[in-house]
Amino acid sequence: MKTLLPYLALYRRHWFRLSLGVILAIVTLLASIGLLTLSGWFLAASAVVGAAGLYSFNYMLPAAGVRGAAIFRTAGRYAERLVSHDATFRVLAHLRVFTFTKIMPLSPGGITRFRQADLLNRLVADVDTLDHLYLRVISPLVSALVVILLVTFGLSFLDVKLALTLGAIMLVLMLLLPVIFYRAGKPAGRELTALRSDYRMQLTSWLQGQSELVVFGAQKRFRQQMNDIERRWMLRQQQQAKLTGLSQAMVIAAAGLTVTLMLWLAAGGIGNIAQPGALIALFVFTPLAAFEALGPVAAAFQHLGQVIASAQRVSQIIDQPADVTFPAQGPIAGEHVSLSLQNVNFTYPGQPLPVLKDITLDVRAGEHIALLGQTGCGKSTLLQLLTRGWDISSGTLEINGQAIGDYDEATLRKMITVVSQRAHVFNTTLRENLRMAAPQSTDEQIADALRQVDLHVLLENEGLNAWLGEGGRQLSGGEQRRIGLARALLHNAPLWLLDEPTEGLDAETEQHILALLHKHCQNKTLLLVTHRLHGLETFDRICVMEEGQIVEQGDHTSLIAAQGRYARFLSRT
């Protein structure tokens, strides 16, 4: 239960709507009890007085009470559902924002251990399950408790013994049934949560890998795995449904036995009235209606195990400490950027071997550096350290003479433009995909950036309003990379970090892009990660990396003269 406390604390922000929803639920239950009780007593009293009651019995007041209770029940039920669901949706939105804000600082270190489908399932399905906490647990439990107390208090004016008997029976049931069905439903609820996650991860993998599954004829085997999970999922749902039916059956049986007991006790007299007559109906119909408040309580707690399991899954992510933290304020952003790396070492968490070993590199403001090396030598990792995707394990890393950890995040992002190996294209318009890099950009500036990276063809049909689709599926890999370059041109920071920006481009487009970068970044500091040798003669310095170390550096001419690794790379092309 402690797992739920952080999420319950979020409810305080919506206390008014949540409280109003509970109050309306109580009013609705009381109106329902009043309707059935008053109707039963009215019919019984009318039958007792018979025809003589036409002149001695007040038919109008009870009839008005019945109509009033019916109106209150109908209006109260509508208002309660409206307010409760509005409050639940607000809480759910707050929960999602809260969870997302906790996840964002963890990237990339804290979330790499989770699969993408699992992350999505925790953020959506598990957070959705947490809304049961109010609708299915808190509201029914509080409402039932208040109704029991009010019914007991109201009946005590007629007969204290009968009122306390009914109140005690209902209170005992309210305390016992949740415990019984919580324990009975806990294993099924936990497994349901796990199976739901497994099924959605399998389904996501199946959809993403559909082409490979078809090509290699593995669809049937993969589908069988999903069928097995689905079968177990359905069995657990059936088990939950049986528990729900059993809980309702127990409440109905308890209601029947209690009504019988109250009828037997009331028949011997009510209060000081030895022959209570129609008052017996009041003590019969009151428990019959009051047990409506206990119905949701038993069923609610069998789902509590599922709620707790979902809360634990969400907490597994958000309770992690962030690997990288930023100060609230730091040095101001400079118009030019210099870098200094001294004896930098880095090892990924949980990995035995270091990725970077004793890296020492000084980059002057405005200098263009090419990082060259085979795949896996640590080039991309070095760029991630410069963007604080990770923090160095040892050594010093400074920007403009200040430790990189001293900069607040907004300032650091303002100073750096990054083009990663895979530019993500969002499911929105071409305009919005580019404006994210510079929200103040005009349509003319965006169109100019597209023309510079040779993507003017995208402007021909719908222009900047063209919808790019999920993941930019209508774009080629090369076009997606150039979208990333266009973003970089719009962001226009003093430090450019480019990771294989010309990968997947034809020779002519590659030459055009390199010329563009050289021209645009004349007064900017540029680090280019590549394993391609075309155009490197224009760089101020070329650093050759091997097994996490810089083993050779210099300009194009000096490295060829040295006949080292760079010269050997050239000779192989």
For the chain, percent helix, then strand, then coil, each to nearest 5? 65, 10, 25
pLDDT tens for each residue of 395-444: 999 999 899 989 998 899 899 998 887 888 888 888 998 998 888 889 99
Whose tokens are 């060259």? That residue is: 372
Determine the Cα–Cα distance for residues 435 and 287; give it in Å rounded to an integer. Answer: 64
pTM, 2 dp: 0.72
DSSP string, 510-532: HHHHHHHHHHHTTTSEEEEEES-
List, for residues 74-106, the tens digit of each pLDDT value: 999 999 999 988 988 888 888 888 888 888 877
* Predicted pLDDT of residue 350: 77
Q: For tokens 């707690």, what's the residue?
A: 301
- Residue 69, Cα to own-chain centre: how many angstroms? 42
- Give domain 88-318's CATH architecture: Up-down Bundle (1.20)
Give 261-278 as a DSSP string. HHHHHHHT-BTTBSS-TT
Let me know: does 370 contact 569? Beta carbons within 8 Å: no
CB crowding 174-213: b at 16 or more within 10 Å, else e? beebbebbbebbbebbbbbbbbbbbbbbbebbbeeeeeeb
- Locate the domains of the chain by residue range: 88-318, 339-572
Distance (Å, whole) CA 214 – CA 207: 11
**Cα(156)–Cα(271) distance, rounded to whole angstroms?**
9
Return the amino acid letter for 253.
Answer: A
Question: Is residue 480 a contact partner of residue 535, using CB atoms and an 8 Å limit?
Answer: no
**Structure confidence at residue 51 (pLDDT):** 61
Q: What is the pLDDT at residue 172?
A: 93
> Tell me, what's the pLDDT at 50?
66
CB 520 within 8 A of CB 350: no
Three-class SS of 478-500: HHHHHHHHHHHHHHCCCEEEEEC
**pLDDT-flagged residues of the chain (< 70):** 1, 49-59, 109-110, 573
Q: Which helix (H) or strand (E) holds 368?
A: strand 368-372
d(CA 3, CA 430): 43
Q: Which two tokens stand for residue 506?
A: 């034809």
Q: What is the pLDDT of residue 305?
A: 78
Tokens of 38: 């008053």
pLDDT value for 53: 57
Give pLDDT, residue 478: 81
- Please provide the CATH number assigned to the domain covering 339-572: 3.40.50.300
By the 8 A CB rule, do 291 and 257 touch? no
Q: In the block, which residue shows the tokens 């239950």?
A: 29
Q: Answer for the pair 370, 536: CB distance below 8 angstroms, yes or no.
A: yes
> CB of 330 within 8 A of CB of 411?
yes
CB within 8 Å of 185: residues ≥ 6 apart: 240, 243, 301, 302, 303, 304, 305, 306
pLDDT of amino acid 570:
81
- pLDDT tens-place string over residues 214-224: 888 888 888 88
**Among candidates 314, 389, 312, 318, which has minimal Cα distance to 102?**
318
Token pair of 351 as six digits: 């990995």
Q: What percent of the chain has pLDDT over 90?
A: 19
